[in-house]
Amino acid sequence: MKMSLKKIAKALLITSFSSAMLMTTAHANNPPPTIKADAPNRYTVKKGDTLWDISGRYLDSPWRWKDIWATNKQIKNPNLIYPNDILILCVIQGKTLIGVDTGEGCAGIEKQLTGKVSTNAVAITSTANSVPPIPLSAIQHWLDKTIIVNPQDFNTTPYILASKTRNLITARGDKVYAKGVPLIVGQRYGIYREGELYVDPKTQDVIGLEVTQVATGLVTSTETNGVNSLQLTDSYGKEVREGDRVFVELDKAIAPVFYPTPATVTRGGMIVRVMDSISSAAKGSVVAINLGSTHGAKPGDVLTVYQKGPLIRDTKDNDTPVRLPNEQTGMVMVFNTFDQISYAYVLDSELPLNVGDQLLPPPYL
């Protein structure tokens, strides 16, 4: 069950040859990142900063931050940045770099790069309290208990039949009954609420079902008529309802820290949903995209959003319809991936982003 629930129904649309060529050209053409003219020589990291914000202070293309980051070889997790760290801009061996000032200025950064430090021990730094790539509060809901499953598999799992007290509202400690295949006595199971059905905006194929875990229950008994008894051990802000589904908890571990980097996906994609029931997305919004782990998408991947050019009439050519070029309208960063769908956070947007907008890895500008 665990493996089949992670498989999404059908393969998605294949992007055009020109899109693939654009991706290939973008990664082959890799000049050094452009430092902003007003980039600070020193910057003190503040609580509430994000890695994207800090990168944007120094670079015209903030996803290129790793290209100028002076990695300290004596630090495990050397890319972590913390509040009150002092970042300094240095030119070392002809390259412009940014690193954390340890008190020796750029001379200390050079020592870190070359490994010429007083100890060979590797210091281990904690991810706790480090600066996140984006505001975690904006994505927490989509990290914790929401997953994408195959709708056909979902509909074969046991369903909640009733509660012991026949109450509509249930909570931790209550007993509920689920009907379906026998569950394992003593095993913990997740209880999931059916949500949004994902449909590809171009092909109209069903490509996945979003479900949210509302509770966890411990199986206390099973009956020959297919009724399983569960004691609710945890609830997650919602009541358990008749019709909710029961299956093994899908513990999808998310890396505690990820970094914005140019995506290396195998094809282009599209926005398939704007979350939170709004019609268009802006900076700080969350969207679902039809690129998943099977296409090489991973947390931290940055993608450029392109809006389809409008169709206009050429008044100098007998009102012939002409499609204007697609225009870059924003950038998104993947933070949670499934087989063929991912959730992404909108880093920037010049115009509202909509379902159907195209996605490609960012070109090196």
Q: Encode pLDDT of 300-353 as tens digits.
A: 999 999 998 889 999 999 999 999 998 999 999 999 999 889 999 999 999 999
Q: CA-CA distances (angstroms) from residue 206 to 146, 220, 279, 303? A: 18, 36, 20, 23
User: Strands, E, within 109-152: which ranges?
Assistant: 123-124, 146-149
- What is the mean pLDDT of the segment spanning 266-281? 88
Residue 40 clears pLDDT 70, i.e. is over it? yes
Amino acid at 140: Q
What is the C-alpha separation between 342 and 271, in angstroms, rounded? Answer: 10
Q: CA 32, 33, 39, 45 torsion: positive or negative?
A: negative
What is the C-alpha separation between 311 and 140, in angstroms, rounded? Answer: 39
Closest Cα to residue 332, out of 294, 289, 272? 289
Domains and CATH numbers, the chain: 32-134 (no CATH), 141-247 (2.40.30), 261-360 (2.40.10.410)
- What is the mean pLDDT of the segment spanning 127-151? 85
Please tell me the least confidently modeled range out of 1-15, 20-34, 65-79, 280-294: 1-15
pLDDT band at 27 (very low <50, low <70, confident <90, very high): very low
* 192's tokens: 């999931």
What is the C-alpha separation between 66 and 55, in angstroms, rounded? Answer: 9
Alpha helices in 126-190 (DSSP H): 140-144, 151-154
Please tell me the least confidently modeled range out of 34-48, 101-115, 160-174, 223-237: 160-174
pLDDT tens digits, one per residue of 150-201: 999 999 999 999 988 776 667 788 999 999 999 999 999 999 999 999 988 7
pLDDT band at 24 (very low <50, low <70, confident <90, very high): very low
Which of 129-143, 154-168, 252-266, 302-316 reaches the highest mean pLDDT?
A: 302-316
Which of 19-33, 227-241, 252-266 reaches the highest mean pLDDT?
A: 227-241
CB atoms within 10 A of CB 2: 10
What is the C-alpha separation between 114 and 309, in angstroms, rounded? Answer: 49
Closest Cα to residue 176, out of 194, 195, 158? 158
φ/ψ of residue 114, rounded to 5: -90, -10
User: Which is more confident, 2 or 68?
Assistant: 68
Q: Are residues 54 and 131 in contact, defined by beta-carbon separation less than 8 angstroms?
A: yes
Q: Are residues 324 and 309 in contact, defined by beta-carbon separation less than 8 angstroms?
A: yes
Alpha helices in the chain (DSSP H): 17-28, 51-58, 106-114, 140-144, 151-154
Q: CA-CA distances (angstroms) from residue 198 to 19, 156, 186, 290? A: 24, 19, 34, 9
pLDDT band at 204 (very low <50, low <70, confident <90, very high): confident
The rounded Cα 295 to chain-centroid distance in angstroms is 14
